[in-house]
Amino acid sequence: MTAPIKLVYSSAPEDYPFAKQLAAHLHTHTQHGLLSAWDEQFLPAGTDVAQERRRAWREADILLLLLSADYFSSAAYDEQEMQQALKRHKADQLLIVPILVRPFAWQASVVSHLQCLPRSGRAVTISENRDAALDSVGQDLRQLIAARRASDAPLSALQRTNRQRLLKIVRTIWVDGWLEQSLHHATWIDLHLQKQPHGLESPWRLMVQELDRGPRPLPPGTSIIQVFDEADEELLILGEPGSGKTTLLMYLARTLLDRAEADECRRIPVVLNLSSWARKRPPLDQWLIEEMNIRYQVPLNVGRTWVETNQLFPLLDGLDEVAEAERAACTQAIIAYMQREQERIPLIICCRIEEYQALSVELPLQYAVILLPLSDEQIEVYLSSVSGKLDTLRQVLREDRELFELARRPLMLAIFTQAYHGEAVLDLPAAMTSDEYPRALFRQYVKRMLKRRTKLQQITEEQFLKWLTYFATQLYRQQQTIFAVEELQPAWLSEQYRSHYRWGMLLAYILTFGLFFGPIFGLAFGAAYGIIYWVLNRLLFGVIFGLVLGIVGGLSGGLVFGLVFKQHETIQPAEIAAWSWTSARKGLLVGVLGGLVFALVGGLVGWVVAGPIGGMVVGCVVEGIMGPLGGLVGGLSPKQMPERLALSPNEGIWRSGKRGMGAVLLLILLVGMTAGLIVGRLGASISDLRYGLIFGLVFGSVGGLIFALTFSLVGGRTGLAAFLEHFVLRFFLWRHGLLPWKLVAFLDEATERLLLRKVGGSYIFVHRLLRDVLATYNT
């Protein structure tokens, strides 16, 4: 049995009556052993109150501070003990809950950064309905107690496995992948620099601004993790474009991953980019669930559990990448997420400083880290560390102050060295504004990277650049930063080409149903139909009859499905599902028990039509199908993350195709053989080939509708429909010269040339500025 939560009431003597009233709202929890409450007003006579108070505070799981003007001047308040309690609160060992009993200026107190109750911020004693306010506080506390008990419970084997796999996949993508392969590191390696050159080992100069206080520079050598710990694990990272915000976030992610791996009680850090939020504008908790499913292969119900029990530590990059019209709404969604629980929800957010200052609403974060530009000394140390000729670049930077100011951003300095390394003359147009410099710089960078390494094979630089420009334009148009091949949608086509795609999908379904699934169904049906009599000529008749039935049914089913059941506007790959033998056994049991009902009904029909033997045949066949189908469906459990963590590009589409093909083929074979056995037993009078073919045409046409309905349920759910739609879309993108057919190879080539960066199975431009420049390349 789990030990009760230790709850401590701390109040001034003037507020003892309120503490008693609050305890009454939690009486049920105390009565059932879920809660162990301590209140010094009930200590026996002769007790050393101060000593007992220190012991209770140090052992508490939840500390309720009943705040009023009298509290901080009473004996109940001990400054030293409060500082120790705040440290435990920051380490998630204790939950401190301020409760505003009577009005006073508590915002100037040591707990002003904590969410108080009532949530309205209005003291209970001056609320219009005091009983309702007290009841609201009681409800919030009961929710906190339930969440605390859930977090204190030991992890099951499945929970521990899922947690470890998510930690591993986040590290694989963002630390081993993104951070270690960052543009800065690539530049140092390519130009034969030291990996951590002197003066750039910690290249950021940081300034911190606390809420309601002015900015202050940090002492040299201060690490970002020190700032993070001081900020109570809530941090806003601000800076100019290319100042290193995302890289700084990744350093934090690495440390948080180390801590989470060492302590199961710590939340799981997950790195996500906010740019995709504007597509549907969902509540942030729902967006987190869906993004983890897309980016980290987390089953939806697993992600939902993690979000609802506050087990995640979101590291949100790119608030400035949300479309400007949606940015304020996104900020409101973040605020709503942070305030949905009384318990503190830690959060780190990155944003460009100009875009953040333009917001009409501010995030309720206590600390903001501002990345300062590189100093003159840091720039000179960096340039001096580069092997090869940079004399011309160094001279131009000395003479052109605007270029020099641009070089104060770490990204721009790295781009400078890549684009103009070894150049005798810098190809920069004259009379350029400060806004035009980055565009010209990135254009030169693209030209240099296209000539990097070996020459492009089989295609020209112009063709490669055309594809890259179209790719960047689509991401820019949809305000998308991270791209997974599975996310390719018909919206990437113009309206004219989209109509071609819709007709192409109709043709694809007709051909797939009529020339592939239909004949397979027909062969299974015809073989079973003929074999039931064990006569060769009947077997031949059954096969021919079945093929006609399958082809006609398939063609009509494909036409119906293409016209009615799919609009092809959104391609949705199948959800990740791992195989579970435990779930398969449960599914088999459900299938057998459920099959008894269908077998009984089918058997009665067979009895009426063909007598007792017919009824037995039908009943046994139905029961024989339902059991294995239940085991198959049940075994694909969405409660467990997949063990294999290699995220290869387009893995979701291929997974959808394989799973969908297997499920549909199995269903077609089972249903075809069952139908053949039933019709073969009940339709013995159809022995003439001519009448059999006519019957096949009619039966096949009617069966096509059933076939289409079946495919919409099984093929759509398992992802086979998404597989077909994806490759038809890829065909039209290639046919119209917009993207290459070998899309993954093209994206990998762009990655090799330092134009893109690979994050797991997805791709991202080395910087958003490069995406924007390419998207307007011809303007």
The answer to whether residue 542 scores a pLDDT higher than 60 is no
Q: Give the CB-side neighbour count of residue 348, counting CA atoms within 13 A.
A: 29
- The runs of H, that is alpha helices, within 206-311 are 224-230, 245-262, 284-296, 300-308
Is residue 291 within 8 Å of residue 243, measured between CB atoms? no
Percent of the chain predicted with pLDDT > 70: 63
The whole-number pLDDT of residue 429 equals 54
Q: What is the DSSP string of 667-691?
A: HHHHHHHHHHHHHHHH-TT--SHHH
Of 172, 169, 166, nearest in space to 311 by CA? 166
Place of tokens 């797939």: 512
Which of residues 510 and 748 earns the better pLDDT score? Answer: 748
The answer to whether residue 686 scores a pLDDT higher than 50 is no
179 and 135 within one domain: no
Q: pLDDT digits over 546-579, tens only? A: 545 445 444 454 444 554 445 556 766 665 555 5
The answer to the question of residue 425 being in a domain is no
Answer with the one of 348, 372, 396 that is the final residue of a domain: 372
The answer to whether residue 223 scores a pLDDT higher than 70 is yes
**For the whole model, what pTM was predicted?**
0.66
The C-alpha atoms of residue 291 and residue 293 are separated, in whole angstroms, by 5
Helix pair angle (410-419, 436-450), 10° resolution: 50
Q: Helix or strand or coil: residue 317?
A: strand
Of 559, 549, 558, nearest in space to 698 by CA? 549
The C-alpha atoms of residue 480 and residue 321 are separated, in whole angstroms, by 8
How many domains is the chain partitioned into structurally?
3
The answer to the question of residue 647 being in a domain is yes
Which of residues 20 and 531 earns the better pLDDT score? Answer: 20
Place of tokens 């906010």: 274
Helix pair angle (651-682, 518-531), 10° resolution: 30
Token output for 16: 């003892």
Q: Which of 140-149, 248-257, 602-611, 612-621 is modeled with the greatest confidence?
A: 248-257
Q: For 237-266, what is the mean pLDDT?
A: 87
**Residue 554, Cβ density class (10 Å: 0-12 exposed, 13-18 middle, ≥19 buried):** buried
The whole-number pLDDT of residue 708 equals 45
Lowest mean pLDDT, pick from 21-25, 35-39, 392-396 = 392-396
The answer to whether residue 92 scores a pLDDT higher than 70 is yes
122 and 172 within one domain: no
β-bridge pairing 5-11 and 347-352: unpaired
The answer to whether residue 141 scores a pLDDT higher than 80 is yes
The whole-number pLDDT of residue 684 equals 47
**231 pLDDT tier (thresholds 50, 70, 90):** confident
Give me the CATH number covering residue 297: 3.40.50
Residues in the chain: 779
174 and 208 within one domain: yes
Q: For 121-144, what is the mean pLDDT?
A: 86
The whole-number pLDDT of residue 309 equals 83
Answer with the one of 106, 131, 152 that is the final residue of a domain: 152
**315 pLDDT tier (thresholds 50, 70, 90):** very high
Q: Which of 62-66, 531-535, 763-767 is modeled with the greatest confidence?
A: 62-66
Which helix (H) or strand (E) covers residue 271, if one does? strand 268-273
The answer to whether residue 704 scores a pLDDT higher than 50 is no
The answer to whether residue 120 scores a pLDDT higher than 70 is yes
Q: pLDDT digits over 635-646, tens only? A: 555 455 555 544
511 and 365 within one domain: no
165 and 135 within one domain: no
515 and 653 within one domain: yes
127 and 86 within one domain: yes
The C-alpha atoms of residue 318 and residue 239 are separated, in whole angstroms, by 12
Q: pLDDT digits over 474-491, tens only? A: 988 887 888 888 888 888
Q: For 235-242, what is the mean pLDDT?
A: 86
**699 pLDDT tier (thresholds 50, 70, 90):** very low
Q: Say which residues have a Cβ less than 8 Å from residue 635's Cβ, sequence separation at least 6.
A: 579, 580, 581, 583, 584, 587
Lowest mean pLDDT, pick from 168-182, 344-358, 609-623 = 609-623
The whole-number pLDDT of residue 194 equals 27
**Residue 680, Cβ density class (10 Å: 0-12 exposed, 13-18 middle, ≥19 buried):** buried
The whole-number pLDDT of residue 286 equals 94
The answer to whether residue 719 scores a pLDDT higher than 90 is no
Give me the CATH number covering residue 147: 3.40.50.10140
- Beta pairing partners, 209: 215, 368
The answer to whether residue 369 scores a pLDDT higher than 80 is yes
Residue 763's φ and ψ, nearest 5 degrees, are -130, 150
The answer to the question of residue 624 being in a domain is no
- The runs of H, that is alpha helices, within 153-271 are 157-170, 183-190, 224-230, 245-262
The whole-number pLDDT of residue 193 equals 25
Q: Say which residues have a Cβ less than 8 Å from residue 513's Cβ, sequence separation at least 6.
A: 554, 555, 557, 558, 561, 704, 707, 708, 711
The answer to whether residue 334 scores a pLDDT higher than 60 is yes
The answer to the question of residue 585 being in a domain is no
- Residues spanned by the domain of 290: 160-372
Dihedral sign computed on CA atoms, order 710, 711, 713, 714: positive
690 and 722 within one domain: yes
The answer to whether residue 173 scores a pLDDT higher than 80 is yes
356 and 255 within one domain: yes
Is residue 349 within 8 Å of residue 236, measured between CB atoms? yes
- Beta pairing partners, 95: 62
The answer to the question of residue 386 being in a domain is no
The whole-number pLDDT of residue 714 equals 45
The answer to the question of residue 778 being in a domain is no
In this structure, what is the dihedral angle of CA atoms 674, 676, 678, 683, given to the nearest 10 degrees? 170
Distances, alpha carbon 457 to alpha carbons 113, 418, 746, 760, in Å: 59, 23, 11, 25
Residue 243's φ and ψ, nearest 5 degrees, are -85, -10
147 and 187 within one domain: no
Is residue 654 within 8 Å of residue 720, measured between CB atoms? no
The answer to the question of residue 725 being in a domain is yes
**Residue 75, Cβ density class (10 Å: 0-12 exposed, 13-18 middle, ≥19 buried):** exposed
Q: For 88-116, what is the mean pLDDT?
A: 86
Which of residues 676 and 156 earns the better pLDDT score? Answer: 156
**432 pLDDT tier (thresholds 50, 70, 90):** low
Question: Which letter does DSSP use for residue 517 in this model?
Answer: I
The whole-number pLDDT of residue 330 equals 94
The answer to whether residue 775 scores a pLDDT higher than 70 is yes
Helix pair angle (536-560, 495-512), 10° resolution: 160
Is residue 11 within 8 Å of residue 100, measured between CB atoms? no
The whole-number pLDDT of residue 327 equals 92
Q: Give the CB-side neighbour count of residue 287, counting CA atoms within 13 A.
A: 20
The whole-number pLDDT of residue 739 equals 92
Answer with the one of 119, 152, 185 that is the final residue of a domain: 152
The rounded mean pLDDT for the chain is 74
The answer to whether residue 538 scores a pLDDT higher than 60 is no
**Residue 651: count of CB within 10 angstroms of its CB:** 19
Which helix (H) or strand (E) covers residue 664, if one does? helix 651-682
183 and 71 within one domain: no
The answer to the question of residue 584 being in a domain is no
Of 39, 69, 41, nearest in space to 57 by CA? 39
Q: Helix or strand or coil: residue 50?
A: helix
The whole-number pLDDT of residue 55 equals 92
680 and 711 within one domain: yes
